[in-house]
Amino acid sequence: MALTDLEEQFTFYAAYHHTTVNKIIHVICVWPILWSALVLSEYIPLVAPEQFNTFVVAVHPLNVTFVAAVFYAAVYLLMDKKAGFIATLLLAFCLVSGRKFYLEAELNYGYAAWQIAAVIQVVCWVAQFVGHGVFEGRAPALFDNLVQAVVMAPLFVLLEVLFLLGYRKDFQKTIWKKVEKEIAKFKNQSNKTKSSVKSNKSLNDDSNNNGMPLISYQHPVMAQFCDQVLPQAVHSSSAIRGECVYEMYQIV
């Protein structure tokens, strides 16, 4: 999956974010997470030599934060020129305001920039996990593909807002059909897993309902005895083996 393929990237990410409440949570939280992450990255002591800084030093030094913002902007512009341009403006705001906050936070607010940024990270991430666990019923996309999720998230929430304003309606129709297929595929797999778990639980319950205490299954001497005295064909049945274990349990 190409990183700059908007259709594939949006389909992947949207499949994890289709409920209204979860979308709203992400629209509120994603850009603050990116902004605070840029603030935290200001603490990384990697800055380009002075001669390379002359072009950008007036706005922002050429460090990890600057490179990260440029990377995001480049990817978004390659994905979608119009939405990418808006995202680039937002990134520029995050870059400049984040730098200013990094330099002045302790003086203005009494706390170091990293402390406030860390609180923003925790609050927003917790809110997003609640959105997935309570409203979406599915783990976040980052558990399946961290890079895709981290890179796509800011553009995804921006596109969600733009879509509400009527942006690229034809693209919306095409993409949401694919998203619905991905969601249906996930639900089908989830139902199969639940069905398998219930089936296994039912078999265990049937064995236990014969009056066999659970401890008998774990008794190594009795289990070994049944392994030796039962024919292989009979041994393959856990219920019959359980009865043998139970009988031995009564004898012991």
Predicted confidence (pLDDT) per residue in 36-85, tens digit: 999 999 999 887 776 666 656 667 888 899 999 999 999 999 999 999 99
pLDDT in tens, 84-111: 999 999 999 999 999 999 999 999 999 9
Of all residues in the chain, the percent with pLDDT exceeding 70 is 68
Domain locations along the chain: 6-189, 210-251
Across 152-172, average pLDDT = 92
- Answer whether 42's CB lies under 8 Å from 98's CB: yes
Pick the closest to residue 174 from 65, 11, 15, 16 (CA basis). Answer: 11
Q: Are 171 and 203 in contact (CB under 8 A)?
A: no
115 — pLDDT class (breaks 50, 70, 90): very high
Q: How confident is the model at residue 2 (pLDDT cuts 50, 70, 90)?
A: confident
Q: Considering only CA atoms, which of 177, 12, 2 is closest in space to residue 79?
A: 2
Q: Tens digit of pLDDT for each residue in 163-193?
A: 999 999 999 888 888 888 877 877 777 666 5
212 or 135: whose pLDDT is higher?
A: 135
Q: Is the pLDDT of residue 228 over 70?
A: no
Higher pLDDT, 6 or 3: 6
Helices (H), strands (E): how many in the chain?
12, 0
